[in-house]
Amino acid sequence: MEKYNPEELELKWQKIWEEKKLFEAKYEQEKKKFYILEMFPYTSAQIHMGHVRNYTIGDVVARYKAMNGYNILHPIGYDAFGLPAENAAIKQNIHPKEWTYKNIETIRRQLKRLGISYCWEREVITCDPEYYKWNQYFFLQFFKKGLVYKKQAPANWCPSCQTVLANEQVIDGKCWRCGEIVETKNLEQWFIKITEYAERLLDFSGIKNWPERVIIMQKNWIGKSEGCEIDFYIPQIGENLKVFTTRADTLFGVTYLVISPYHPFVGKIKEVSPVKNEIEKFIKKTTRTSLTVKDFLRVEKEGINTGIFAIHPITQEKIYVWIGNYVLMEYGTGAIMAVPAHDQRDFEFAQKYNLPVKIVIKNPEWKEIPEKLESAYEDKGIMINSGIFDGLDSEKGKEEIRKYLEKIGKGKKAVYYRLKDWCISRQRYWGTPIPIIYCKKCGIVPENEENLPVKLPDEVKITGKGESPLKYSEKFIKCKCPSCGNEAERETDTMDTFVDSSWYFLRYASKDLENKPFDKEEVNYWMPVDQYIGGIEHAILHLLYSRFFVKVLKDMGFVDFEEPFENLLCQGMVIKDGAKMSKSKGNVVDPEDMIRKYGADTLRLFILFAAPPEVDLEWSEKGIEGCWRFLNRIWRLHNEIKNYSEISDENNEKLKIMINKTIKGVTEDIEKEFQFNTAIAKMMEFINFLSKEINEKKVSKDILIDSWKKFIKILSPFTPHICEEMWNDFEKEKFLFRENWPSYEEIETFEEKINIGVQINGKIKGNIDIPANYDVEKIYNLLINNEKFKKFIINKKIVKKIYIPKKLINIVIED
């Protein structure tokens, strides 16, 4: 018998699969399709265990679905633009392109070595002009539709990466990539109007099965809030100050107004204010740009009374306008009505500056109205001190006050979102150039579609400091205006790499077209993605942008579907010693080392077996050895089976029951939320059972081989190489990938004897073998004649007999 040599047989089958193009996806309209997609890797130096886990899970699904008769699309590509390539350029003095393509080669080799069933013919590399050309094309389509615009905006600036970050890339006031504290800086930048799609992005009805938390995160991110805009007239400047509130019911409790230091009224109010100098000082202090985002959040609430008043729209009272650092210009109208009695932030501010607190909502638990509040009462209640609205329930009051304001022309219903427009400008080299031209005569002019792609120049100096390296490339900047033909200059900003990943799954779905981003018919066949798998870290950004992109493309007639990803699985991290694997912690386990030692099948098996897909997986050297032993055991059994000869056939039924049970269990575990760990456990049980049977030789050879072939099939999505090798000993016609998943018979049809638990008053006392077709009374008769159990029952009053079929019997007695 030959020793199990994974390296030899894995490389052999990988070569054969590739030569036969076994995994090449073919557009065949009449076949039912399954699009299985894993988030493509960023092209850093090599893959890590997280990738192995992601791609192995995907591969099991792909192979399982293929064996169930689906036409499979299982593509792979590379997220190849981005900052690290430039960092490498600075550090290692290597061109970003060279660095990226070198890494791609390594990653491709590593993925192939894992034996993942990818359709290599549809590879996408986002830094390839043939790909990013279509980023530019879509940008122009968005531009035509008015979904793209340029504006000066305070941007998040990472002093370490020397670049602008999108809001979403700022986590807790820090740069998402390097962790440096982010500052603000004003820059002219390009935005995409994702806010126009806020409402549609909140609609998840087109999604079948996503983790609930991902949907919640997206909803929070979009942050819809419904309320009311209310006008407060300021006589001294002759204009209405518009505030936004979700609590119109507290309108009678307003004791002051607060505007943001960035509010456009600040200047006008300052001019007429008696405390002009103090305002100036305050504004200077609160709008310092050097203040980091994080500091801004931590800063204590501060404000200044402008001495200017506004008129309450209903009571006509005079209400002073304050400027406060806790009011954000980026949200709502940049001005609020302060109701200290019913809003904790306003309450704190009012305490600090000794402002009046007026209770207008009565807590139903109060016996009487308190003189003083300890904190704001923010819940519902009954309206008081509110004129004609007194006595109304506050929820009802919201509506009534809004209607009243609408009637007198002082307010209207309003909806605001936290979601902001998507800033796609990056002051970097290694990204898609934004196809815009600045002409002295014509202004901002989009590049002609025929001139795409606007290619990145190869010769640039990358210093990592200051502005985009493209600013210094004359060859790149100089161009002709598409409109008037005069000398003009190109935009030097490049696109956020999230643009690249917002539609790559569409490019996969129709291969290598030169004249179109993708073929509509073929994309409509494959899409939406039936199962998407990736890390939770993309819960908001990538997934939201992709949903947005697809909705826009649908509106423009490019595609016929609304949602890109119907089902989503977020796999857990691979951790070691309780922490995420990282160089700094020195706890990294290199997948290639593991493959060298045990082979790809063992690595795959371990990573699938050690934990369910969605939870974190603790790496264990001992654990992978266990999987190595399991495959060796299978290898030995296979060789024994080939040379097997039986003594008798008395255990044939037992084996049939066991293999059917195993197929059923494995099938259900895969179907039910991808419980690969328990599926593997069931196959291990089968192997434990089969080893004994083979030793005893009491099953006939044909039944044994039949069961073994079925077993090889169900194991094959997990460890495809060893299975293919064993399969080849029996069947040379078809690859396992093209075989059918075995069906199973319900074991009830041939199981005659079963073992059930015996309980007395719900406490387990032992177990008993019974014929499968027995009912309660028959089992009870067995019990009263059984040495072990009769003592519990005889001479007792039997209250109840409960039989749970094939599980247990519970005899309830009176003591």
Partner RNA sequence: GCGAGGGUGGCGGAAUGGAAGACGCGCUGGACUUAGGAUCCAGUGGGGAAACCCGUGAGGGUUCAAAUCCCUCCCCUCGCACCA
Residues numbered 740 to 769 that lie near RNA (CB under 7 A) are 755-757, 759, 761-767
User: Whole-number minimum distance, CB 326 to RNA, in Å?
Assistant: 4
Count of chain residues binding RNA (CB under 7 A):
84
Specify whether the CB–CB gap between 251 and 342 falls below 8 A.
no
CA 90 – CA 357 distance, rounded (Å): 59
Rule CB under 7 A: which of 265-284 touch RNA?
A: none
Q: How would you class 608 by CB atoms within 10 Å of its CB: exposed for 0-12, middle for 13-18, buried for 19 or more?
A: buried
Among 301, 554, 697, 796, binds RNA (CB under 7 A): 301
Is 505 strand, coil or helix? helix
Q: Could you tell me which stretch among 323-331, 552-560, 723-731, 776-784 binds RNA (CB under 7 A)?
A: 323-331
Under rule CB under 7 A, residue 587 binds RNA: no
Q: How would you class 127 by CB atoms within 10 Å of its CB: exposed for 0-12, middle for 13-18, buried for 19 or more?
A: buried
CA 398 – CA 410 distance, rounded (Å): 15
Whichever of 30 and 752 has its CB closer to RNA, that residue is 752
Whichever of 215 and 556 has its CB closer to RNA, that residue is 215
Under rule CB under 7 A, residue 300 binds RNA: yes
Q: Could you tell me which stretch among 104-112, 189-197, 457-465, 670-678 binds RNA (CB under 7 A)?
A: 670-678
Q: How would you class 411 by CB atoms within 10 Å of its CB: exposed for 0-12, middle for 13-18, buried for 19 or more?
A: buried
Whichever of 89 and 310 has its CB closer to RNA, that residue is 310
Among 57, 680, 699, 736, binds RNA (CB under 7 A): 680
Whichever of 251 and 456 has its CB closer to RNA, that residue is 251
CA 201 – CA 210 distance, rounded (Å): 14
User: Whole-number minimum distance, CB 231 to RNA, in Å?
Assistant: 15
User: Whole-number minimum distance, CB 82 to RNA, in Å?
Assistant: 21
Under rule CB under 7 A, residue 787 binds RNA: no
Query: What does the per-residue mask of binding to RNA show for 398-437, with x meaning CB under 7 A?
Result: ------------------x-x-------------------
Whichever of 16 and 171 has its CB closer to RNA, that residue is 171
Question: Any idea what DSSP says for residue 23?
Answer: T
Residue 273 neighbours by CB under 8 Å, 6+ apart: 279, 306, 307, 308
CA 447 – CA 137 distance, rounded (Å): 9
Under rule CB under 7 A, residue 688 binds RNA: yes
User: Whole-number minimum distance, CB 791 to RNA, in Å?
Assistant: 8
CA 299 – CA 291 distance, rounded (Å): 10
Q: Helices (H) and strands (E) in the chain — how many of each?
A: 26, 34
Q: How would you class 424 by CB atoms within 10 Å of its CB: exposed for 0-12, middle for 13-18, buried for 19 or more?
A: buried
Q: Could you tell me which stretch among 50-58, 440-448, 503-511, 678-686 binds RNA (CB under 7 A)?
A: 678-686
Among 150, 193, 200, 345, binds RNA (CB under 7 A): 345
Phi then psi for residue 60, to 5 deg, are -60, -45
Whichever of 180 and 618 has its CB closer to RNA, that residue is 618
Whichever of 300 and 752 has its CB closer to RNA, that residue is 300
Rule CB under 7 A: which of 695-734 touch RNA?
A: 695
Question: Any idea what DSSP says for residue 81?
Answer: -
Q: How many CA atoms lie within 13 A of 535 on its CB side?
A: 14
Whichever of 161 and 607 has its CB closer to RNA, that residue is 607
Under rule CB under 7 A, residue 678 binds RNA: yes
Under rule CB under 7 A, residue 633 binds RNA: yes
CA 548 – CA 192 distance, rounded (Å): 10
User: Whole-number minimum distance, CB 345 to RNA, in Å?
Assistant: 4
CA 442 – CA 211 distance, rounded (Å): 49
CA 321 – CA 567 distance, rounded (Å): 51
β-pairing verdict for 494-495 and 487-490: unpaired
User: Whole-number minimum distance, CB 31 to RNA, in Å?
Assistant: 33
Q: Name 804's bridge partners.
A: 808
Residue 216 neighbours by CB under 8 Å, 6+ apart: none
Among 622, 732, 753, 797, binds RNA (CB under 7 A): 622
Q: Could you tell me which stretch among 82-90, 305-313, 322-330, 403-411 binds RNA (CB under 7 A)?
A: 322-330
**Which stretches of 312-464 are assigned E, i.e. beta strand?**
318-324, 335-338, 361-362, 382-383, 411-416, 422-423, 425-426, 436-439, 443-446
Under rule CB under 7 A, residue 115 binds RNA: no
User: Whole-number minimum distance, CB 759 to RNA, in Å?
Assistant: 6
Q: Which of 251, 291, 523 is nearest to 387 (CA)?
A: 251
Rule CB under 7 A: which of 161-200 touch RNA?
A: 171-172
User: Whole-number minimum distance, CB 806 to RNA, in Å?
Assistant: 9
Rule CB under 7 A: which of 788-807 touch RNA?
A: 800, 802, 804, 807
CA 486 – CA 482 distance, rounded (Å): 8
Cβ atoms within 10 Å, residue 243? 25
Query: What does the per-residue mask of binding to RNA show for 118-157, with x meaning CB under 7 A?
Result: ----------------------------------------
Under rule CB under 7 A, residue 650 binds RNA: no
Under rule CB under 7 A, residue 334 binds RNA: yes
CA 337 – CA 250 distance, rounded (Å): 10
Among 449, 458, 616, 696, binds RNA (CB under 7 A): 616
CA 77 – CA 72 distance, rounded (Å): 16
Under rule CB under 7 A, residue 620 binds RNA: yes
Among 180, 625, 706, 739, binds RNA (CB under 7 A): 625
Q: How many CA atoms lie within 13 A of 277 on its CB side?
A: 0
CA 440 – CA 438 distance, rounded (Å): 7
Among 610, 641, 704, 779, binds RNA (CB under 7 A): 610
Specify whether the CB–CB gap between 189 and 155 falls below 8 A.
yes
Residue 285 neighbours by CB under 8 Å, 6+ apart: none
Q: Could you tell me which stretch among 196-204, 397-405, 607-615, 698-706 binds RNA (CB under 7 A)?
A: 607-615
Whichever of 121 and 673 has its CB closer to RNA, that residue is 673
Tokens (6 digits) for 347? 């309450």
Amino acid occupying residue 451: N
Rule CB under 7 A: which of 523-582 touch RNA?
A: 536
Whichever of 23 and 64 has its CB closer to RNA, that residue is 64
Whichever of 639 and 677 has its CB closer to RNA, that residue is 677
Rule CB under 7 A: which of 435-474 touch RNA?
A: none
Among 38, 343, 493, 646, binds RNA (CB under 7 A): 343
Question: Any idea what DSSP says for residue 744?
Answer: -
Rule CB under 7 A: which of 208-247 touch RNA?
A: 212-213, 216-217, 220, 223, 225, 227, 244-247
Under rule CB under 7 A, residue 681 binds RNA: yes
